[in-house]
Amino acid sequence: MPEYRKDPITNRWVIISSERSNRPIQKIERKEISEEIFCPFDKGNEHLTPPEILAFKPENSKPNDENWWIRVVPNKFPAVIPDISPKFKKNGIYYSLDGYGYHEVIIESQKHHHKIYNMSEKEVEEIIWAYLIRFNEIKKDKKIKYIQIFKNYGSDAGASLEHPHSQLIATPIIPIYIEEELKGAKNFYSLKKKCIFCSIIEQEKIDNIRIIEENEHFIAFEPFAPRFPYETWIIPKEHSSDFGILRKFPEKVKSFAEILQHTVYNLYSLLGDIPYNYMIHTSPFDNLNNNFYHWHLELIPRLTHAAGFEWGSGFFINSISPEVAAKNLKKQRR
Amino acid sequence: MPEYRKDPITNRWVIISSERSNRPIQKIERKEISEEIFCPFDKGNEHLTPPEILAFKPENSKPNDENWWIRVVPNKFPAVIPDISPKFKKNGIYYSLDGYGYHEVIIESQKHHHKIYNMSEKEVEEIIWAYLIRFNEIKKDKKIKYIQIFKNYGSDAGASLEHPHSQLIATPIIPIYIEEELKGAKNFYSLKKKCIFCSIIEQEKIDNIRIIEENEHFIAFEPFAPRFPYETWIIPKEHSSDFGILRKFPEKVKSFAEILQHTVYNLYSLLGDIPYNYMIHTSPFDNLNNNFYHWHLELIPRLTHAAGFEWGSGFFINSISPEVAAKNLKKQRR
């Protein structure tokens, strides 16, 4: 029997309907993206991107030379730009604001075909370090309220290049999904004097049917009301509202990299080389330290296309229950 | 220069960034869906769907015979089902509800390859009549709070069959996007004593740069803060909170069908046979007649894949401004 389930944070409902998995829909397969001539992220093509903002490389290397293993550059086709003084505009009932912000690309490796699931643990850890350095650097810009760190893997997940990379977009506006999570988390806190994410971890440990993996500092699980089949969240076990604080705990960075890599590996092992997105949710800069919000990573495999019902209603139909998904993913653990 | 724009109804922000349109992303082309053996919606295959709920056919036809031109049937792979007594369940902080509701398919024609843009006006009109009949019929079920009527065109828009069809899903829960629109509309009304959609129509007429077409009863325009390139809204010019009331005004049904067909034609003429979704937004059944909400249709072409940034933040990056989109679409009018 299908079931409506409510996400306890945002009060968004989803429909879990295993019946739907029988319909004759084409499964999305990740298609390799062919670059037309060359890849701007390959070694030797450093001049084809805007100058680097950060690079992990041997000491005494020159900026933009070939000796990097992780490289952060401004996006060549930016959604927002840092070199303007943003102004608000009003026209009747309409409001707009100049597109101030940062849009950067984290090039994760020199190897064009490298994947998170076959990187060394150290390589994944260093990607997280690159996120943390940029997060804590951009935070100093008082005009910026939020940084969204995310990865698009595969063209069906919105990637335009095959070369392994993540992105960040920093904006003077707090995104609406984060606002909604913050609102839900604040409500819960005012009622229960507890962080809702901490309560979710507790409940998940009691129910013990949606957890995929747990290590010293993190837990990976299928949320109770997932929008997408095999949607997986990774969350620090101890309350932590600020992703950026991780820089003070190298052993936690290691633990986070480990569980992220396992999560991506499990999906690959079960479902093949599927497209996916992940995004890190954290508190906005103006309230980084709080008791009610808990930073986490959300990973969504892109196995089906959201359709008119989803886009029209915000109601998601998910044909695989998180309990079945967790069971299948747990079997893959290496 | 990129620009943040705020949707005046929901306060959701989008980023309009024409710079992004230069990046080397693969454009989505609509792929024809090949049915493996036969199409369950073709004439002669009536026995392959669940028994019909409604059919437009000559008098004295038998149920489920071949003599229909529009046919409404329960979805064979339903997201929700009507033959249960729904119960709420609570487990700690988690809530769920049995998947009660209606999930129906409106088969729009017997012709397998027929498209809205090359149907007769009468054919489109009758599709709207089928929506209206089912809307007003399902309304009688007091357990149902909302009906989402929508169309998925093309597999990248979530369709699993090529044969022309729309769907409806009726639920005992008001979808979150509708809740958000209602909330924004109520706020606006309490401040200005006016419907926000009526105010949008006024402002659009003043600005006169986003309107594509206007007929006696409806207006089609690009919204100020569109999530997607060429997103188009169709809205009745006179305040009307209830889609279902249209059944009392056959001339308005005609006018709506006409502008819907033109809208689909313009997109086809400009962009080719692209995948798209449309969805009708209306007031929930428990408050059908009100001064603050205005029913409308939202059409979203599926030219790009929503990526990690969009899914993670609810912030949409749109590489084509609604003013440019409107200008391009207006040129296509036949």
- The mean per-residue pLDDT over the stretch A95-111 comes to 97
Tell me the two tokens of residue A301.
Answer: 């495999």
- Range with the poorest average pLDDT among A255-259, A321-325, B157-161: B157-161
* Secondary structure of A50-102 as H, E, C letters: CCCCEEECCCCCCCCCCCCCEEEEECCCCCCECCCCCCEEEECCEEEEECECE
Please report the pLDDT score of residue B19 as a whole number: 73
Q: Which residues contact A152 (CB under 8 A, 6 or more apart)?
A: A158, A159, A167, A277, B307, B308
Chain segment A180-216, per-residue pLDDT in tens: 999 999 999 999 999 999 999 999 999 999 999 999 9
Please report the pLDDT score of residue B24 as a whole number: 57
Determine the distance in angstroms separating the CA of B96 from the nearest CA of chain A, rounded to an integer. 4
Chain A partners of B15 at a C-beta cutoff of 8 Å? 79-80, 99
Give B86 or B20, the one with higher predicted confidence. Answer: B86
Chain B partners of A182 at a C-beta cutoff of 8 Å? none
| A314 with B176: Cβ contact below 8 A | yes
Q: How far apart are CA B329 and CA B263, in angstroms?
A: 8
Identity of residue A126 = E
| B312 with A17: Cβ contact below 8 A | no
Length reported for chain A = 334
Please report the pLDDT score of residue A28 as a whole number: 61
pLDDT band at A34 (very low <50, low <70, confident <90, very high): low
Any idea which residue has 């991107």 for tokens?
A49
Determine the distance in angstroms separating the CA of A203 from the nearest CA of chain B, rounded to an integer. 7
Is residue A290 within 8 Å of residue A283, measured between CB atoms? yes
- The mean per-residue pLDDT over the stretch B285-291 comes to 96
In Å, how far from its chain's centre is CA A97? 26
Q: How far apart are CA A238 and CA A75, in angstroms?
A: 34
Per the prediction, chain B carries an average pLDDT of 94
SS3 (DSSP) at B2: coil
In Å, how far from its chain's centre is CA A49? 23
pLDDT band at A144 (very low <50, low <70, confident <90, very high): very high
| B8 with A311: Cβ contact below 8 A | no
- The mean per-residue pLDDT over the stretch B105-119 comes to 96
Comparing CB atoms, the residue among B4, B17, B307 nearest residue A152 is B307
Is residue A131 within 8 Å of residue A168, measured between CB atoms? yes
| A26 with B5: Cβ contact below 8 A | no
* Most distant CA pair in chain B, distance: 64
Determine the distance in angstroms separating the CA of A19 from the nearest CA of chain B, rounded to an integer. 6
Chain A partners of B99 at a C-beta cutoff of 8 Å? 1-4, 15-17
Give A173 or A28, the one with higher predicted confidence. Answer: A173
Q: Spell out the domain ranges in chain B.
A: 3-330
User: What phi, psi does B133 have (nearest 5°)?
Assistant: -65, -45
Is residue A243 within 8 Å of residue A282, measured between CB atoms? yes
Percentage of chain A exceeding pLDDT 90: 86
Chain B partners of A95 at a C-beta cutoff of 8 Å? 5-6, 8
Q: How far apart are CA A65 and CA B266, in angstroms?
A: 49
Burial class (CB in 10 A: 0-12, 13-18, 19+), A62: exposed
Please report the pLDDT score of residue A121 as a whole number: 95
Eight-class DSSP state of B4:
E
Please report the pLDDT score of residue A306 as a whole number: 82
CATH topology of domain A3-330: HIT family, subunit A (3.30.428)
Chain B residue at shortest CA distance from A188: B93
Comparing CB atoms, the residue among A23, A96, A150 nearest residue B312 is A150
Determine the distance in angstroms separating the CA of A60 from the nearest CA of chain B, rounded to an integer. 34
ipTM of the complex: 0.92
> Among A163, A165, A294, A296, which one carries the catalytic annotation?
A165
Does A23 have pLDDT greater than 80? no
- Range with the poorest average pLDDT among A37-41, A252-256, A291-295, B11-15: A37-41
Chain B partners of A36 at a C-beta cutoff of 8 Å? 24
